Amino acid sequence: MLGKGEIAALITRSLGPADSFTTVASRFRLLKVAREEGVRVAETHAIDNPSDFEHWNQTQRFPWVMKVDGTTGGRGVEFVQAQDEAQQFLLKAHSLYRTTRIVKRLIVNRDSFLLRAWWRRVRPTVVVQGYIQGHPANCAVMCWEGRILAGISVDAVSADGATGPASVVRVVDNAEMMLAAERIARRLNLSGMFGLDFMVEEGSGDAYLIEMNPRCTPLCHLRLGKGRDMIGALISQLCGVPLQEAPPVTNNDLIAYFPQAWTSKSEFLQSSFQDAPWDQPELTQELLHPWPDRSFLYTAYQLIWTRLFQPRSPLEGLASKPASKRI
């Protein structure tokens, strides 16, 4: 039986040093580290109270992008067109972990994701980012003790709304994104899988890092040829054997994620490689129709929200206002 010290050493060997966890869990801290490593990052500022907007307002034109730490899948992200909208977002963010909201997430959505932070009375960090005119992209990598073993870069072709995750992607060779992953993995001495989200600026093609996903992402299991087989690279590392190059699962550079591309009814679905578990029909149906979406409480909540409180689109009026940057 392993002792505490041996268990701690095993966790460190598997995931990286514990002092890197607070960095990868914070958008602001991660981008600060990335900038120190020479990575191109979107202008980002931490916001604690309304007065923090004053300096930012003097240097950054609207629209801004507001984000709350501890949220995923596009939740907790909003475009704002004026300072009063930014202040309203800050108030909403600070109420994100109220008891009534946590109870709603548990009962209606069966989602306990926010429970730990609520229990620890941790107030979420809010950041504001500059708006970069361009298109979203991301990379996913497998690393070991700060070294990149394999990775894949993609451009987002179709996504779930303006701030949601990608549903269809195009595989690309983007050296700047992969270099950013190498520098961050080395600086934080990371092991395992992680993904980086970027905005590729229109015209220049420069990739601006906007955040990190410190976990396995939809790309990580795919075998896409030399240098793009993350699972094979990990097996080779752990077993101390030469990497056995496997043929790519597809030569189609368009990949549709399951179930996102189906639920969003992407126009690119039929022309893409469909990364879906067709050989497991029960799992397929469950992923397409998860339990919370079938429950009476969820259906009633969605109906009331849609009829009475449907929020305005965060991009409404965006085209009519000047924008220096977009995220």
List, for residues 76-135, the tens digit of each pLDDT value: 889 999 989 999 998 888 776 665 655 655 555 555 555 555 555 566 789 999 999 999
Please name the residues in contact with 281: beta carbons below 8 A apart, sequence gap of 6 or more: none
Query: Parallel, antiparallel, or unpaired: how do β-strands 44-47 and 166-172 relate?
Result: unpaired
Q: What is the pLDDT of residues 223-266, one digit of tens each?
A: 999 999 999 999 999 999 999 888 999 999 999 999 999 988 89
Q: Give Cα separations from 79 to 50, 108, 160 (angstroms).
A: 17, 27, 15
* pLDDT computed for residue 326 by the predictor: 34
Average pLDDT, the chain: 84
Q: Give the pTM.
A: 0.82
Q: Tell me how far apart the alpha carbons of residues 38 and 33 are, in angstroms, rounded to a whole number.
A: 9
> 168 φ, ψ to 5°?
-135, 135
Helices (H) and strands (E) in the chain, counts: 13, 11
The residue ranking higher by pLDDT, 253 or 320, is 253
* 326 vs 39: which has the higher pLDDT: 39
Domains plus CATH for the chain? 43-131 (3.30.1490.20), 133-276 (3.30.470.20)
> Does pLDDT of 172 surpass 90?
yes
36-45, 155-164, 260-269, 305-314 — most confident range: 36-45
Asked whether the predicted pLDDT for residue 269 surpasses 70, the reply is yes
Q: What is the pLDDT of residues 178-231, one digit of tens each?
A: 999 999 999 999 999 999 999 999 999 999 999 999 999 999 999 999 999 999
pLDDT at 103: 60
> Cβ(260)–Cβ(288) under 8 Å?
no
